[in-house]
């Protein structure tokens, strides 16, 4: 693996998991403990999601010209980056009250403490599964991009899994309300920008 590919693998792993930093700090502030096995389950979900989407990208790459694959990968990952980048602004808009609740995965990303269903101040293995699925959404785009642009899918998936575990564990360690409020929005913006940069870098 050359240095450019290694950079892309690490960048995808980091960009796919910056939401974990915000979630980890939110849990730290609220004194909700994340056991290592729950954190590992979340990381494994991200690893599997990235691997499956990467294998799907590999399949698509068999049927299209490499140049077309580069553009498809770029469009997908840049589109997700723009969507992530716009989330803080979309969430600030006033929402008309309706009887329907937002989707549960959306609620978990906005209020991750809702995953602690039994209010035990500890994230059980079962509770971590739903949170893991919510946090793995960004990993799908990164995995697909790796597969269709011929990056090593396994190493990309491993990078996503490792960064998932590390960011959630480390950021849960320093929970200060000021940091939680500031880093939550900044992590989302940085994540979106990184995804866009990764996509554009692949066609320049």
Q: In this predicted structure, what is the pLDDT of residue 120?
A: 61
Kindly state the helix (H) or strand (E) to which residue 3 belongs, with its residue range: helix 3-15
Q: In this predicted structure, what is the pLDDT of residue 51?
A: 95
Residue 121's CB is within 10 A of a number of other CB atoms, namely: 12
Q: Which residue has the tokens 């809702």?
A: 114
Tens of pLDDT along the chain (204 residues) come to 677 788 889 888 888 887 777 777 777 777 778 888 989 999 999 999 999 999 998 998 888 777 777 777 777 777 776 776 676 565 555 444 444 555 555 655 556 555 655 566 677 777 788 778 877 877 888 888 888 888 899 999 999 999 999 988 888 776 545 454 555 556 666 666 766 776 676 565
Q: How far apart are the first and last CA of the chain?
A: 20
Q: In this predicted structure, what is the pLDDT of residue 49?
A: 93
Q: In this predicted structure, what is the pLDDT of residue 96?
A: 45
> Structure tokens of 91?
């969430």
Rounded distance between C-alpha atoms, residue 22 and residue 18, angstroms: 7
> Structure tokens of 71?
């553009």
DSSP 5-73: HHHHHHHHHHHTTHHHHHHHHHHHHTT-B--HHHHHHHHHHHHHHHHHHHHHHHHHHTTS-HHHHHHHH
Q: In this predicted structure, what is the pLDDT of residue 97?
A: 41
Q: In this predicted structure, what is the pLDDT of residue 149?
A: 83
Burial code (b: 16+ CB inside 10 Å, e: under 16) for 162-184 equals bbbbbbbbebbeebeeeebeebb
Burial of 154 (0-12, 13-18, 19+ CB in 10 A): middle
Using alpha carbons, select from 158, 167, 198 the residue that is nearest to residue 74.
198
Q: Global pTM?
A: 0.74
Q: Which residue has the tokens 């790459």?
A: 61
Residue 74, CB-side half-sphere exposure with 13 Å CA sphere: 13
Name the β-bridge partners of 3.
none
């Amino acid at each position: 693996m050359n240095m450019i590919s290694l950079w892309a693998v690490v960048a995808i792993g980091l960009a796919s998991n910056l939401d974990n930093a915000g979630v980890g700090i939110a849990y730290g502030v609220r004194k909700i403990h994340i056991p290592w096995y729950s954190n590992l389950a979340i990381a494994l979900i991200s690893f599997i999601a990235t691997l499956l989407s990467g294998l799907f990208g590999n399949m698509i790459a068999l049927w299209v010209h490499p140049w077309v694959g580069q553009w498809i990968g770029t469009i997908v990952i840049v589109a997700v980056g723009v969507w992530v980048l716009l989330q803080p602004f979309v969430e600030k808009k006033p929402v008309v009250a309706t009887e329907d609740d937002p989707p549960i995965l959306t609620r978990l990303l906005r209020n991750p403490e809702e995953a602690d269903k039994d209010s035990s101040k500890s994230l059980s293995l079962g509770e971590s599964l739903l949170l893991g699925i919510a946090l793995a959404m960004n990993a799908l785009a990164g995995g697909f991009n790796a597969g269709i642009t011929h990056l090593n899918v396994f190493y990309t998936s491993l990078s996503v899994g490792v960064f998932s575990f590390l960011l959630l564990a480390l950021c849960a360690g320093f929970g200060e309300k000021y940091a939680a409020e500031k880093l939550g929005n900044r992590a989302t913006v940085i994540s979106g920008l990184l995804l866009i940069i990764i996509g554009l870098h692949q066609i320049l």
